[in-house]
DNA sequence: GGCGGAAACGAACGTTCGTGCTATATTACG
DNA sequence: CGTAATATAGCACGAACGTTCGTTTCCGCC
């Protein structure tokens, strides 16, 4: 950490191997944890799926809690890559706000994580289990809520959304509808839930859109069938 | 099993003791499971809390899965007693629909279960774990959604809610908002979330209320501060 | 060509889990 | 009172858990 360890590219190549396996372990860990839960994510199971020994895998993290934390952060990266980043390709304003919600719904429907929204599951699992893991999960979900809230405020600044709407309130509602769709899909395989959430969100956006905002929202409304738009 | 074992009333009194301890075990089990999860609900832990031996307690159920199923059903009884029944004291119509949602929020806020809504937690825990337990949970939550949907239809039949609203859609949205409030409260202790959910629900009810429906909704809206009305 | 450190391994630890078996209290009724 | 059913306890099991330890394999570098 302190000494630069020599900037020799060769020296980096040596270290790369450990880091790379660690990364591929975390990939699996995220997948496993999203389905079985962060506690159900077992070191032995993970090791056997990676065709490694328990101890070999264990050495990368030092404790189960560290593994859980690393897994949560890895899932956060995936979420940013799959949801936030794509939505941020759209210019700030009402359309980006809509994209955030729409892409989120797609991210659950398309099974980016096997068990639906990773953080919805993790939050529910850890909400009565104090500790660093719970804190990290709470922090990340707060980030997401802040992104939504920020998007609302931007849309207002752009003059596309009425000033009277409370950004926190709207962010809460959208998040709730997303969680609701996730819940219905995970428990019943109900794909219609995505359309329901989308309709509810769009209706709310339209209701509070200014005139200039309404035009922005014109296209996705006209989409033929009620399918969620794919991110690509 | 086969032979009727005699329908003597006295025979029932004999059996009562076992049934009573079974019931008190389930009380504890529900409380424990609501906080630690249905899988975290451990027979050893439960036995020691009940000051019983593992095997003595175990004999009442025969398997962990049976214990889980019995626990889920016990939680269902509590839910009916605490939420559905009180709301059904109000005559069918818009007000009952509102009561269902309002009392539900109170039931989470007042900690009827230590871990918030028992079924929200259980659903999230078991949604990727097929089996009888998952099926039972899904069934119970479907009952709740059906109650909501039915309440919407009743309100329409009473002429208090516009015919144009889709009962399933409204039930979905209300359920989602409730789950969202539960989520925010469990993860952040955010009591404001109840007010947010309530506001969102009330706003929707008002929007789609007929004239006669609006008058019914007049009183709870005027309630001074935005507190959720207690069920008693 | 041998040294050193990182990475992976295999075996074992102490615990806890769910689940059987067997025996002992407790109780109801003939 | 005695007997049979019921309820609880005691004990042991096999498996899985997280974790530790000592060893082995691998590879860049002096």
Task: Say what the pLDDT of residue B135 is.
Answer: 96
Q: Who's near A2: CB < 8 A, 6+ residues apart? A: none
pLDDT category, B167, cuts 50, 70, 90? very high
pLDDT of residue B16: 58
By three-state DSSP, how is residue A59 classified? coil
Q: From chain B, pick out residues whose CB is under 8 angstroms from the CB of A36.
A: 128-129
Between CA A212 and CA A222, with CA A218 as vertex, the angle to 5 degrees is 175
Residue A161, strand partner residues: A209
* SS3 sequence of B102-118: HHHHHHHHCCCCCCCCH
For the cut 90, the answer to whether the pLDDT of residue A103 exceeds it is: yes
Measured CA A139 to C1' C16 distance, in angstroms: 32
What is the percent of chain B with per-residue pLDDT over 90, rounded to a whole number?
A: 75
Question: What is the reported pLDDT for A119?
Answer: 97
Task: Quote the CA–CA distance of B232 and A91 in Å, as a whole number.
Answer: 50
Q: Which nucleotide is nearest to A17 (CA to C1')?
A: C7
Of the candidates A35, A141, A172, which has its C-beta nearest B187's C-beta?
A: A141
Nearest CA in chain A to B178: A176
Rounded to an integer, the average pLDDT of B30-48 is 92
Q: What number is the average pLDDT over the span A45-65? A: 92
Beta carbon pairs, A and B, within 8 Å = 111
In angstroms, what separates the C-alpha of B45 from chain A's closest C-alpha?
Answer: 16
- Closest by alpha carbon to A124, among B179, B192, B106? B179
Q: A124: nearest CA in chain B?
A: B121
> Taking residues B28-57, what's their average pLDDT?
91
Q: Scan residues 81-140 of chain B and list those with Cβ within 7 Å of strand D.
A: none
What's the pLDDT score for residue B195? 98
B183–A183 CB contact, under 8 Å: no
Mean pLDDT of chain A: 89
Residue A218 has what pLDDT? 82
Torsion of CA B109, B183, B161, A193, to 10 degrees: -160
Mean local confidence (pLDDT), A168-196? 98
| Residues (5-34, chain B) with CB within 7 Å of strand D atoms | 5, 14-15, 17-19, 21
- Range A23-29 average pLDDT: 93
d(CA B163, CA B155): 9
For residue B56, CA distances in Å to A71, A105, B16, B40 come to 40, 48, 16, 20
Which of the residues A113, A129, A187 would you substitute to probe the B interface, choosing the one with the greatest number of B C-beta atoms within 10 Å? A187
Q: Which pLDDT belongs to residue B1?
A: 34
Pick from B116, B199, B102: nearest CA to A123 = B116
Residues of A within 8 A of B35 (CB-CB) are 128
CA of B79 to C1' of D15 (A): 37
For A114, the closest chain B residue by CA position comes to: B128
Tens digit of pLDDT for each residue in B195-210?
A: 999 999 999 999 999 9
Nearest nucleotide (CA of A56 to C1'): C8
* Interface residue of B180, B182, B197, B201 to substitute, partner A, most A CBs within 10 Å: B180
* pLDDT for position B2: 35
pLDDT at residue A209 tops 80: yes
Indicate yes or no: strand D within 7 A of the C-beta of A7: no
Residue in B114, B138, B177 nearest the CB of A187: B138
Average pLDDT estimate for A56-68? 93
- Asked whether residue A6's C-beta has any atom of DNA/RNA strand D within 7 A, the reply is no
Is residue A12 scored above 50 in pLDDT? Answer: no
pLDDT value at A104 more than 50: yes
pLDDT tens sequence across B110-153: 999 999 999 999 999 999 999 999 999 999 999 999 999 999 99
- Residue B90: phi, psi to the nearest 5? -85, 140
Please give the residue that has the higher pLDDT: either B38 or A218. Answer: B38
Identify residues of A whose CB sits under 8 angstroms from chain B CBs: 35-37, 39-40, 114-116, 120-121, 123-125, 127-129, 137-138, 141-142, 168-169, 172-173, 175-177, 179-181, 183-184, 186-188, 193, 196-197, 199-200
Contact criterion met (CB < 8 Å) for B173 and A35: no
Residue A199 phi, psi dihedral angles, 5° rounding: -60, -45
Q: How confident is the model at residue A220 (pLDDT cuts 50, 70, 90)?
A: low
C-alpha gyration radius of chain A: 20
**What are the beta bridge partners of residue B161?**
B209
Task: Mark the nucleotides of strand D covered by protein, meaning any atom under 7 Å from a CB.
Answer: 6-12, 16-22, 27-29
Helix (H, G, I), strand (E, B) or coil at A210: coil
pTM above 0.85, yes or no: yes
* Predicted pLDDT of residue B19: 74
Q: Which of A11-20, A72-81, A149-158, B22-31 has the lowest mean pLDDT?
A: A11-20
Q: Mean pLDDT across the stretch B183-206? A: 98
Residues of B with Cβ-Cβ distance to A206 under 8 angstroms: none
């Amino acid at each position: 950490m302190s000494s630069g360890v020599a900037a020799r590219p060769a020296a980096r190549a040596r270290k790369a191997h450990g880091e790379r396996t660690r990364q591929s372990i975390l990939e699996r860990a995220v997948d496993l944890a999203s389905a079985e839960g962060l506690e159900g994510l077992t070191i032995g199971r993970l090791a056997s799926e990676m065709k490694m020994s328990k101890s070999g895998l264990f050495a990368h993290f030092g404790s189960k809690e560290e593994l859980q934390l690393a897994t949560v952060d890895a899932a956060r990266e995936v979420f940013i890559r799959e949801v936030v980043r794509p939505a941020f390709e759209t210019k700030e304003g009402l359309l980006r706000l809509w994209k955030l919600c729409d892409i989120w719904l797609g991210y659950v429907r398309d099974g980016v994580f096997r068990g639906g929204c990773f953080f919805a599951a993790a939050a529910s699992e850890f909400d009565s289990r104090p500790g660093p893991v719970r804190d990290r999960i709470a922090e990340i979900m707060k980030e997401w809520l802040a992104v939504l809230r920020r998007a609302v405020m931007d849309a207002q600044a752009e003059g596309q959304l009425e000033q009277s709407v409370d950004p926190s309130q709207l962010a809460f509602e959208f998040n709730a509808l997303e969680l609701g769709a996730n819940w219905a899909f995970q428990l019943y395989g109900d794909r219609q839930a995505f359309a329901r959430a989308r309709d509810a969100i769009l209706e709310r956006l339209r209701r509070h859109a200014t005139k200039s905002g309404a035009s922005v929202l014109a296209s996705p409304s006209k989409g033929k069938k009620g399918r969620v738009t794919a991110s690509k």
